[in-house]
Amino acid sequence: TAAFAVSPSLALSLEPRNAVTTRRATLESLWIAALFSAAPAVAGAAADAADTSSSVFLGTYTDPINHPGGTRTIELTGTSFAGYTLASVKGGGGQGEPESFELPAMVFDCPGRGQVGKFCISIDFSPKGGPKDFKGYWDEEKKGIRFVLDGNFWPKHQS
């Protein structure tokens, strides 16, 4: 009998399987298949919930304090999972920034007590030389994005 040991807890055997081993493997395969066939439905439900909250960020903004004259447009990429939706921030043309740039971002429901119904965004500014995980939230009263660490505010342009 030949066997190839992958690790102490896992080995591939070339000997024939008995009925118990085959039955167990079949049941495990069916369980795994059921789990993965349900995953798209669960992910789809999470994506629908995430799209509802993340859509508040869609649109064009300015950064009048740090980069006057420039714009940034937030678009969703269409990829959502477990309450997070990937987004893209495209912009430029403002004072002291590149003519154009594209930054990866992620939108999600804000975590924590008292945050129900509030929406957050995390933007990776590292392609522009800034921080990698800069968080902000949707300011419902002023209709724009308020950044947590520096208090900067991006007003949203109404179309």
Helices (H), 55-101: none
Whether residue 94 contacts residue 70, with contact meaning beta carbons closer than 8 Å, is answered with: yes
pTM: 0.66
* Other Cβ atoms closer than 10 A to 76: 18
Q: Which has the higher per-residue pLDDT, 155 or 28?
A: 155
pLDDT at 5 over 70: no
User: What's the mean pLDDT in 106-126?
Assistant: 87
- Listed in sequence order, the residues at least 6 apart from 61 whose beta carbon sits closer than 8 Å to its beta carbon are 71, 72, 73, 74, 144, 145, 154, 155, 156, 157
**The predicted structure's pLDDT at residue 111:** 86
User: What's the mean pLDDT in 49-66?
Assistant: 80
**At 159, is the pLDDT very low, low, confident or very high (cuts 50, 70, 90)?**
low
